[in-house]
Structure 1
Amino acid sequence: MTWGTIATWRMAAKGVDKASQLLENNGTAGDAVEELIKEVEAYPFYKSVGYGGLPNEEGVVQMDAAFMDGDTLAQGSVAAIENTLHAVSVARALSHEHYNSFRVGEGATKYASLHGFEMTNMLTDRAKARWKKRLKEIEQEHLNPYNGHDTVGAVTLAQSGSMAAATSTSGLFMKKQGRIGDSPLSGSGFYVDSEIGGATATGLGEDIMKGCLSYEIVRRMGEGETPQEACDHAVYPFIQKLQKRYGKAGEFSLIAMNKNGEWGVATNVEFTFCVATDRQPQQILMANPGPDGTTVIVPVSQEWLDAYEKRIHESE
């Protein structure tokens, strides 16, 4: 039976491994996507997600996350949640609530604490040191404070045909207190419908949310486009529109998978992602914008992987 999963960035590789094992053993799409995201959230060397994620301008790690069930269309989201190890698990729990399924700030944190989710100080010494360094750079060199905003987003397809999607991020480094990006917003950061497929986004949320691109990709797949066609046709024309009408466009990268396990990607930056299906062992791939609104996708080299491992473990 067909199963598959796709996730943003190289950092999702171990999570994709875990999700693949669950899906291969007839696990649910919801369990697989949650475990995939949790694997990334718990790893302290990823600077843009979960434990060890980079803080806002006040030195506080505030996380956004979302979960969506493609069978029922149920959704749960949290934004600006604090001191919670697995924001995605809180979002999934909230997806079972008909009312109050999107909670922010103190309300989201209180819900997590009262419902037994693991609470911890998410600001590691390493992340705090980077925050202090950036404050000094901003003051002395007048640098742009915003550097680092990669979301882990994933779509899973179970052998039963059920699908799920989820996202998690600590958001824009040095963001203003309470700032929320696209990741927890339905249709922008994520969307999934088991009868069609799903998509998630990563990049600059303030610009991604202007286009509701995750929903647009799913809509296009529903009209018969392949995931790659849907990604290309949704993302690149919108970037051009934004550049023309808004004057600029931040970083955009979107992934998609349909109900048949076929996948697609579109991006305006160098972008890595991970994918695995019953027909294709896990691959870590590199996408770049190609000519005429297309995407060029190649496997990453061992040299690139070695450099990546070295870079994420650097203290500064």
Structure 2
Amino acid sequence: MKYAMIGTWRMAYEAIANNIDQLKQSTAPGAALVQAIVEVENYPYFKSVGYGGLPNQECEVELDAAFMNGSTLAIGAIGGVKNIKNPIKLAHHLSQEKFNSFLVAAGAEKYAQQQGFEFTNMLTKRAQQHYQKKLDLLRSDPTLSPYDGHDTVGMVSLDSQNNLCVGTSTSGLFMKKPGRVGDSPVMGSGFYADSEVGGAVATGLGEDIYKGCLSFLVVEKLRQNFDVKTVVQEVVKEFNDKLIQKYGKCGPISIVALDKNGEYGVGTNCEFSFVVGNHNQVTTIYLAQPNEDLTKLTITKPSPKWLADYDRARKEPIK
């Protein structure tokens, strides 16, 4: 019996560890993945997802999310919503609708109210402190970029019934323009899955990621029998090099993927943490570090110091 779940960033660890055993059971496709993302959304110290997510330019938290069932190719997505407690639940719900499966802003919020989804104020005091600190920095040095924080939680799961599902959730760029939507809820860019082949999700600078439809591209490479263990990095390198050629730079891009057999692959152009568990190993945090020309990844387990520094940075007082 094979099963697996992979997620972006260290923040996925507890949620995947808590829910991976569901993949052994005959539950609804994607149920374990949705619950895992809900747990990330609910944790207030993850400042780029859900409750506690960093606000936009007007100090409002706008959220994006998506879900795809690779066995049916059904998709649900939302963009730019406010105060919906668990955006991934709404995205999952919309994936079961024949029409109107991608809703944004006020329309998505009205639909969520009609369907009885829970609403709450998603702007925490800590997020407001981050916002004020950034405003003060920008006033003291106008040359600084206001944009920061793009750590989407994305997950791919394979259950014992061979269902591959993917999901994403994010509050997007810190200090973004109101209404800005990145790659996370955009099919083919932030996510894609086909249970006959594999699934992939992306995280990083959305404005660069959706120039290449990178999640779809990874899945199509798997369809052509490329090895998931190497092809994800090849996709990232090729696209990174293309953007540098065209623009002189490329923003951070990281992708995680599973193939139909539960084997995983990772690609990144920056230091990137990810979490994976499957039928052969317990849920584990890893660090991926590319070499200078992105031709090779070094994957290691983070040191105790790295883990302690991560936790401290999430929770330390904002000065």
Shorter-normalised TM range? over 0.9
Aligned to 1:70: 70
CA distance in 1 between counterparts of 2:72 and 2:16 reads 24
Aligned to 1:57: 57
Aligned to 2:48: 48
Q: Residue 315 of structure 1: CA displacement?
A: 2.5
CA distance in 1 between counterparts of 2:312 and 2:26 reads 36
Structure 1 length-normalised TM:
0.98
Identical counterparts, % of pairs? 47
Unaligned runs of 5+ in 1: none
Counterpart selection for 1:306 from 301, 308, 314: 308
CA distance in 2 between counterparts of 1:273 and 1:196 reads 21
Q: Residue 225 of structure 1: CA displacement?
A: 1.1
Q: Could you tell me which amino acid in structure 2 is paired with residue 299 of structure 1?
A: K
Q: Is the 8 A contact 2:269 2:294 kept in 1?
A: no
Q: Is the 8 A contact 1:68 1:75 kept in 2?
A: yes
> For this pair of structures, how many residues does the alignment match?
316
Q: Is the 8 A contact 1:29 1:156 kept in 2?
A: no
Any idea what the Cα deviations from partners look like across 1:132-178, whole Å, max 9, x if unmatched? 11112112221211011110000000000011000000000000000
Q: Residue 18 of structure 1: CA displacement?
A: 2.3
CA distance in 2 between counterparts of 1:148 and 1:250 reads 12
SS across alignment from 1:139: helix
Give every structure 1 segment of 4 or more consecutive aligned residues whose post-TM-superposition deviation is greater than 2 Å.
24-29
Matched, 1:146 2:159: no
SS across alignment from 1:145: coil
Aligned to 1:247: 248
CA distance in 2 between counterparts of 1:29 and 1:280 reads 22
Q: Residue 24 of structure 1: CA displacement?
A: 3.0
Aligned to 2:170: 169
SS across alignment from 1:67: strand
Any idea what the Cα deviations from partners look like across 1:10-62, whole Å, max 9, x if unmatched? 00011111221211344344101101110100000000000000000000000
SS across alignment from 2:19: helix
Aligned to 2:299: 297
Aligned to 1:264: 265
CA distance in 2 between counterparts of 1:37 and 1:124 reads 19
Q: Is the 8 A contact 2:228 2:258 kept in 1?
A: yes
Q: Could you tell me which amino acid in structure 1 is paired with residue 261 of structure 2?
A: N
Q: Residue 292 of structure 1: CA displacement?
A: 5.5
SS across alignment from 1:48: coil
Q: Is the 8 A contact 1:226 1:262 kept in 2?
A: no
Q: Is the 8 A contact 1:5 1:19 kept in 2?
A: no
SS across alignment from 2:30: helix
Q: Residue 96 of structure 1: CA displacement?
A: 1.2
SS across alignment from 1:5: strand
Q: Is the 8 A contact 1:237 1:293 kept in 2?
A: no
Q: Could you tell me which amino acid in structure 2 is paired with residue 106 of structure 1?
A: A
Q: Could you tell me which amino acid in structure 1 is paired with residue 312 of structure 2?
A: K
CA distance in 2 between counterparts of 1:315 and 1:53 reads 16
Any idea what the Cα deviations from partners look like across 1:160-198, whole Å, max 9, x if unmatched? 001100000000000000000000000000000000110
Q: Residue 314 of structure 1: CA displacement?
A: 1.4
Q: Is the 8 A contact 1:76 1:94 kept in 2?
A: yes
Structure 2 length-normalised TM:
0.97
Change (3 A) 1:278 1:26: farther
